[in-house]
Amino acid sequence: MLDKIGVGSVDELYSDVPEEVLFRGEYDLPEGMSETELREYFTNLGKKNEQLTVFAGHGAYDHYSPSVIPHLLERSEFYTAYTPYQPEISQGTLQYIFEYQSMISELTGMESSNASMYDGATAAAESMFMMVASARKKNRVLVSSTLLESVRKVIATYMKFHGVELTELPEKEGETDFTAMAEELAKGDVAGVMVPSVNRYGIIENLEGVAEKVHGAKASLAIYCDPSALAVLKTPGEWGADIACGDGQTLGMPLQFGGPYLGFIACRKDMLRKMPGRVVGATTDRNGKRCYVLTLQAREQHIRRQKATSNICSNQSLMALYATIYVALMGPQGLRDVNRLSCDGAHYLYDRLIESGKFSKVYDKPFLKEFVVKTDLDTAAMAARLRRNGMMGGVEIAPGVLEFAVTEKRTKEQIDRLITVMLEEEK
Amino acid sequence: MKEYDKLIFEISKPGRKGYQLPADKYGVDGMSAIPAGLMRGEAPELPEVSELDVVRHYTNLSNKNFGVDTGFYPLGSCTMKYNPKINEELASLPAFAGLHPLQDVKSVQGALQLYYELQQALSSLAGLKEFTLNPYAGAHGELTGLMVMRQYHKLRGDDKRTKVIVPDTAHGTNPASAMVAGLEVVEVKSRPNGSIDIEDLKPLLDDTVAGIMMTNPNTLGMFETEIMEIASLVHEAGGLLYYDGANLNPMLGKVRPGDMGFDIMHINLHKTFSTPHGGGGPGSGPVGVSERLVDLLPTPRVVKLDDGSFDVVYNGDESLGSVSTFFGNFGVMMKAYAYILSLGRDNIKNVGPMATLNANYIKESLRDLYKLPVEGPCKHEFVFDGLADKSTGVTTLNVAKRLLDFGFHAPTIYFPLLFHESLMIEPTETESLETLDEFIDVMRKVAIEARENPELVKEAPVTTAISHPDETGAAKNPILSYKAMKA
């Protein structure tokens, strides 16, 4: 090989690198490990983790994941491919993205979905940009403070640097204060509003009349939602939203310490050209055969550079495949059953906690699988006790206020045990 | 094999199901407590299929795909190296896969240790002080890095630095990330060999410049030999240097970005550190910074305490804020760390040189038939300006499509924009001499076909599942869902 190249050594291929920057030291890394050593290293690290029975949500949910999914995701024709730049040899990827887009459109009630985003928070931030881009000379967006704080934090960071003014709407009895929203809209400078479908307290917000108010002020409405819950709850499309966005982790994805998950954005047709990210469309080839291609690329960074709708140049493709297979397996009935079982379990736990007299209501509002209660018990001692017993209880979102989530994976026995341990007297 | 072209929706049969869930468990009807006005009107139109239907459907789809495991994938600037299988196994260990991101830190010490050790390993490999692993992809890392840049100037009260210098040959994500970060893009010209034109750079460096974004080696795979001069010019002007880690692979074992004067960089774990590209993601784009920028990194951050345990920091006075819901793509990080540990401190030094050797070997073996616009040793990749013989009418697109007929993925085409017929080839270090020779033979064969039978090449591909899709029609009349297709 060196002869062909015409050099005497591999080092000669770096002869153009200034001497002073050539690395001659040692990396601060261990010696290379064999497969056996590596497996042992990871297994030992794993022993320092505690696998708990999870009763928490707050943006990450312990839903059931059918066995089929990892088996299909391990098809290396899927996971060792890259973005489908060559449609002739990427119809597998392109078709599943088309199916994914179709499913997200169905679940959200919106006309067009993109090929997916990094996570819910970044999808929400990019949805804000879409609304600003769709408005004429307006540079302010509103976000409800009932949206998860982890999502609001990312929105705030993106808006701050991009130079979009962000106003948080106050809450009223656990829901968005829509009177305050109307006051802000009346100022005439609002490009878009984002509200949650199910909010940070687990409350299903009543969004009746919100779209009319927002559209009346010539602004757009984005609803942050849980695609799993949308199998039963009123959809952003039905509420009259322009954009639906959120995180698809609830479609059976492993908790995996926070990622990879799946962001999604779907919108009405008239906002399509403001949408970030990859989009797959159906077409035909020269023999009239149906096929799929990346499309509407004139929005994207590799064509438009600094005039693009976003800097995103990939999607969360394999997680989109995960979601697609999950939804295919579950179907409309399975998704309904998941919600019903989660909802039953959550209500069962809620009722038992209130009955105990040690916990009380914070809000009296409808919820699906997640809710908050307050207590005077020592929550730190309670959390430690639960951990010793292999459980993760509710997330303490304010002093003495716990948010619990129950999925279809939990059993009545697990919930009863949770309650027993929580109510134990500290010895 | 039989041709399969159904959509999952088209094999749906009412009442069929592919899941098993327990029956009622609680004797409670929770959903009856939700007012009807909050419920969806009609059930979504989703497929109803059996488990076997699903397995066959997606297995058939996978057969229409080409991955690194299928064959050689010389996609320039994407570093399509082999993805070792042990990494997949380790990333799915239940002791990590089942962890909730908000668990008490005492119950996730193993995950935090892994996270911290990867931060440290990347710092050492890059010659920088600290890394955040929060960003989800390369472009997300660029955005985060540029936020660090802006935050640095802002905290110093230097508000007029609103411009960032980007070479005209840069990846499209560079100017796009700058736009999202609220920076104005100023282009610096490249010389014919793709390197930055210092004389064009100098007058741009005033007190409104926040910094410069560069790759090194540059987009043509050539090392920027004047990097030290560029670094001192930018620093003297009060700016920072951002290193786009897309081209980091040939530097492993040879050069560290920090040692070249870069203040901020991102790494694509899915390129340099072998995590699978996943058909477009999930990736991971950690961002590293020099010492003076450490406190500006996004939160959450994983830190090591004096007692040797690990903790999570959720807020910092100087931090730019948050760019991710939780810690980033943790599952991807596990694979990258497994790769780094399996190579270890010594073998990892061979990565860059072997990638460079492979690229130069292909370049020198084809330069008589393909037009090589820039002389000299390349690093991990190089660019041809199409076929040497321009009389045939065969374009770079035709060559790329013809390669598909021979069982190779096409190189990156029409990038960089410096040439009309760019064909960018990156073999990576994981390919054998035999594979490189096979590829070279086929590239030569295509060049000869182009001369002797140009129509054959223009017709390509002829062996693939589909051929010459109507992309214009797809964009003119977008059909983005099954429902739109039926309408």
Q: Is A300 helix (H, G, I), strand (E, B) or coil?
A: coil
Query: What is the percent of chain A where pLDDT is above 90?
Result: 95
Across the interface, whether the CB atoms of A79 and B67 are under 8 A apart is answered: yes
Residue of A130, A161, A261, A310 best to disrupt the B interface, most CBs of B under 10 A: A161
Q: Verify that B144 and B280 share a domain, yes or no.
A: yes
Give the mean model confidence (pLDDT) for residues A352-375.
98
Q: Is B283 inside any structural domain? A: yes
Domain that holds residue B13: 8-62
Q: Verify that B302 and B415 share a domain, yes or no.
A: no
Across the interface, whether the CB atoms of B96 and A336 are under 8 A apart is answered: no
Residue A86 in tokens: 């060559």
* Residue A18 phi, psi (nearest 5): -55, 135
pLDDT at A426: 64
* Residue B385 phi, psi (nearest 5): -100, 65
Return the domain boundaries, chain A: 2-42, 53-65+332-423, 68-325
Could you tell me which chain B residue has the CA closest to the CA of A303?
Answer: B172
pLDDT at A249 over 80: yes
pLDDT at A195: 98
pLDDT at A174 over 80: yes
Q: What is the pLDDT of residues B33-50, one digit of tens each?
A: 999 999 999 999 999 999
Quick one: how far is CA B442 from the chain centroid? Answer: 27
pLDDT at B1: 63
Q: Which of A272, A315, A348 sits opposite B281 (nearest CB)?
A: A315
Q: How far off is chain A from B223, nearest CA to CA, in Å?
A: 7
Q: How far off is chain A from B228, nearest CA to CA, in Å?
A: 8
pLDDT at B192: 84
Instruction: Report whether A162 contacts A310 (CB < 8 A).
Output: no
Q: How many domains does chain B have?
A: 3
Q: Is B78 inside any structural domain? A: no
**Other Cβ atoms closer than 10 A to B388:** 14
C-alpha distances in Å from residue B392, one per residue of A170, A357, A414, B453, B458: 68, 86, 73, 9, 10
Number of CB pairs, chain A paired with chain B, less than 8 A apart:
666
**What angle is formed at CA B229 by the lines to CA B160 and CA B199, rounded to 5 degrees?**
70
Report, as ranges of residue numbers, the positions in chain B whose pLDDT lies below 70: 1
Give the mean model confidence (pLDDT) for residues A239-254.
98
Q: Verify that B334 and B271 share a domain, yes or no.
A: yes
Q: Verify that B318 and B374 share a domain, yes or no.
A: no
**For the whole model, what pTM was predicted?**
0.98
Q: How confident is the model at residue A201 (pLDDT cuts 50, 70, 90)?
A: very high
**ipTM score:** 0.97
Terminal Cα-to-Cα distance of chain A (whole angstroms) = 74
Q: What is the pLDDT of residues B393-429, one digit of tens each?
A: 999 999 999 999 999 999 999 999 889 999 999 999 9
The region that residue A227 occupies, defined by phi over 0 for left and psi between -120 and 50 for alpha, beta otherwise, is alpha
pLDDT at A342 over 70: yes
Give the mean model confidence (pLDDT) for residues A39-55.
98
Q: How far off is chain B from A218, nearest CA to CA, in Å?
A: 24
Nearest to B299 by CA among B181, B133, B116: B133
Q: Is B481 inside any structural domain? A: no
Q: How far off is chain B from A49, nearest CA to CA, in Å?
A: 4
Q: Helix crossing, B138-155 with A149-162: angle to 10°?
A: 70
Q: What is the CATH number of the domain that holds B423?
A: 3.90.1150.10
Q: Is B382 inside any structural domain? A: yes
Q: Is B74 inside any structural domain? A: no
pLDDT at B93: 97
Across the interface, whether the CB atoms of A29 and B344 are under 8 A apart is answered: yes
Q: Is B72 inside any structural domain? A: no
* Residue A331 phi, psi (nearest 5): 65, 180
**What angle is formed at CA A318 by the lines to CA A41 and CA A408, rounded to 5 degrees?**
80
Across the interface, whether the CB atoms of A283 and B470 are under 8 A apart is answered: yes
pLDDT at A427: 58
Tell me how far apart the alpha carbons of residues B188 and B204 are, in angstroms, rounded to a whole number: 8
Neighboring chain A residues of B129 at a CB cutoff of 8 Å: none
Across the interface, whether the CB atoms of B328 and A91 are under 8 A apart is answered: no
Q: What is the pLDDT of residues A364-376, one digit of tens each?
A: 999 999 999 999 9
Q: Is B343 inside any structural domain? A: yes
Nearest to B297 by CA among B308, B273, B313: B313
Q: How confident is the model at residue A300 (pLDDT cuts 50, 70, 90)?
A: confident
pLDDT at A313: 87
Q: Verify that B465 and B317 share a domain, yes or no.
A: no
Neighboring chain B residues of A98 at a CB cutoff of 8 Å: 7, 480-482
3-state DSSP helix/strand/coil percent for chain B, to nearest 5? Answer: 40, 10, 45
Any idea which fold A53-65+332-423 has? Aspartate Aminotransferase, domain 1 (3.90.1150)
Tell me how far apart the alpha carbons of residues A20 and A363 are, in angstroms, rounded to a whole number: 66
Q: Verify that B373 and B341 share a domain, yes or no.
A: no
Q: What is the CATH number of the domain that holds B239?
A: 3.40.640.10
Q: Is B282 inside any structural domain? A: yes
Across the interface, whether the CB atoms of A230 and B40 are under 8 A apart is answered: yes
Tell me how far apart the alpha carbons of residues B209 and A207 are, in angstroms, rounded to a whole number: 46
> May I ask the CATH class of domain A68-325?
alpha beta
Tell me which amino acid residue A38 is: L
Q: How confident is the model at residue A131 (pLDDT cuts 50, 70, 90)?
A: very high
